[in-house]
Amino acid sequence: MAKTKRKLDSKSFAQQKRHRRQWVTFMRMCRYGINNFSRNAWLTVAATAIMTITLLVIFTSVVARNVLIDTVDQLRDRVDMSIYVDKDIDSEAIEKITAELRQLPSVQNVSYITPSQARESYIDDFKTSPEALEAVTESTNEFPGTFSVKIKDINNTAELQKFTKENETFLANADKKRAASFAGERRATIQRIGEAANFALQAGVITSIVFGTISMLIIFNTIRMAIFNRREEIQMMKLIGAERSFIRGPFLVEAIVYGFFAAIIASVIGYVFMFVVGPSLGDYLNIDPVLELLTIYAGFVLLAMISVGALIGIISSLLATQRYLKL
């Protein structure tokens, strides 16, 4: 029993010693890597600046995409499809058409606007235009009855179109002079914004890839020059039996530090821009939800930026050390 206990104690002590040595080695690699970061100021500034631009492009792309998506969704919520009926339609037909429209799976809400309400709404909308108001006042034409229909997807009006062509009650009371208006100009505007959102996403992804590649090349060359400058030191470490991880480690740490500082700088610039310039864009874009998310999840955003920066640094450093260290 005593012999077994001594063996266990000896094994435990050896494990503790090995863990302590690994920890000391890790701390030395970190210290050497941080020292390497400050050795060549110009290369450090260049690598950090390009990494900052890359992360700022990624940040801007993600934010712009979400702002455009929120704006499109907000506009879609405001769009109603309009179908027109005779001004003399009776209340029973109105209730029947309303009920049948609400039964359509694609329809969210239905409301009926009387001719007098339509006239008042038109006057209110164009009260700053004397010509439009004069035309309404002098016109003998009455406004039609209007069913305002909100559907789940404004790009899918198939059910509503089928309803206007096949529903007997609607056809019996439809205004033959006016075709159904399926969002008209507003729908075209929303479609253009949606296309702009898709384009912004694609452009952001392409730009991020381009700047990410440039960052990796600059960090790659920075690490390569560091290897050449310290080749005698590296050769000496090889001769005394230093492990591969110990030789490669400082270069990895150096690249991660580039990403760390670049992420902080890019996040600060991005946040300052969003909260200084963002509110002024509120009249054109639905930016409030994104500003709220950036405020609530600021820590997660910074962590994500640091992770992306570190990943770019690690990949470029691994490629450089794999090629030029010849371990």
Instruction: State the Cα–Cα distance between residues 225 and 231, nearest whole angstrom.
Output: 10
Residue 127 has pLDDT above 70, yes or no: no
Residue 62 has pLDDT above 60, yes or no: yes
Local confidence band at 60 (pLDDT 50, 70, 90 cut-offs): confident
**CB–CB of 170/85 below 8 Å?**
yes
What is the share, in percent, of the chain residues with pLDDT greater than 70? Answer: 69
Local confidence band at 138 (pLDDT 50, 70, 90 cut-offs): very low
DSSP state of 38: T
**CB–CB of 200/61 below 8 Å?**
yes
pLDDT tens column, 176-187: 777 776 655 556
227: enclosing H helix or E strand? helix 184-229
Question: What torsion do the CA atoms of 263, 267, 269, 274 make, to the nearest 10 degrees?
Answer: 160
| C-alpha of 102 from chain center | 35
Strands 107-113 and 81-85: unpaired
Least confident of 84-88, 132-136, 154-158, 270-274: 132-136
Q: Where are the beta strands (DSSP E) in 39-140?
A: 81-85, 107-113
Mean pLDDT for all residues in the chain: 76
Give the pLDDT score at 266. Answer: 92
Instruction: State the Cα–Cα distance between residues 33 and 219, nearest whole angstrom.
Output: 14
Reduced to 3 states (helix: H, G, I; strand: E, B; else coil), residue 181 is strand
Local confidence band at 303 (pLDDT 50, 70, 90 cut-offs): very high
Q: Which domains does the chain have, with CATH numbers?
A: 29-74+190-324 (no CATH), 80-182 (3.30.70.3040)
**Alpha-carbon separation of residue 177 from 184, 185, 186 (angstroms):** 17, 19, 22
